[in-house]
Structure 1
Amino acid sequence: MPKMSQSCLDRAAVAAALGEQLPDAILENLFPEYRLADVRAVLCGAKKTAGPATLTSSPAQQQSLFVEPTSGSGLACKLFTDGASRGNPGEAGAGSVLLDGDGQELAARSLYLGKCTNNVAEYKALIMGLQSVLELDCGRVDIFLDSQLIVRQIQGQYKVKHPALKPLFEEVKELLANIDSWTVAHVPREQNKRADELANKGIDEKAA
Structure 2
Amino acid sequence: MGSELPARDHILRQLTDHLDDDTLRRIFPDQHPAAIRDLLLGRQPTTAVNRATAAPTARSATAGKAAAACRLFTDGASRGNPGQAGAGAVLLGEQGEELATCSVYLGTCTNNVAEYKALLVGLEEAQRKGCGQLAIFLDSELIVRQVQGRYKVKNETLLPLFRQVKERLDRFDTWSIAHVPRAQNARADQLANQGIDRQNG
Q: Which position in structure 2 is the counterpart of 1:129?
A: 122
Q: Which position in structure 1 is the counterpart of 2:20?
A: 52
Q: Which position in structure 1 is the counterpart of 2:47?
A: 61
TM-score, normalised with respect to structure 2:
0.75
Partners in 2 of 1:129 and 1:207 — Cα distance?
23
Cα deviation 1:136-194 (Å, max 9, x = unaligned): 11110100000000000000011111111011001101100101110100000000000
Cα 1:96–1:206 change in 2 (3 A) is same
| Contact 2:21/2:33 (8 A) holds in 1 | no
Equivalent in 109, 126, 150 of residue 102 of structure 2? 109
Residues paired across the two proteins, number? 168
Runs of 5+ unmatched residues, structure 1: 21-34, 41-49
Q: What are the within-5 Å matches in structure 2 for residues 91-102 of structure 1?
A: 91-102=84-95
TM-score, normalised with respect to structure 1:
0.72
What is the RMSD of the two structures over their aligned residues, measured on CA atoms?
2.8
Equivalent in 7, 15, 18 of residue 38 of structure 1? 15
Q: Give SS of 1:61's match.
A: coil
Letter in 2 for 1:117: T
Cα 1:195–1:158 change in 2 (3 A) is same
Confirm or deny that 1:181 pairs with 2:167: no
| Larger-gyration structure (1/2) | 1
Partners in 2 of 1:93 and 1:177 — Cα distance?
25
Deviation at 1:84, TM superposition (A): 0.4
Partners in 2 of 1:114 and 1:52 — Cα distance?
34
Deviation at 1:102, TM superposition (A): 1.1
Q: Give SS of 2:47's match.
A: helix
Q: What are the within-5 Å matches in structure 2 for residues 10-25 of structure 1?
A: none
Deviation at 1:70, TM superposition (A): 2.1
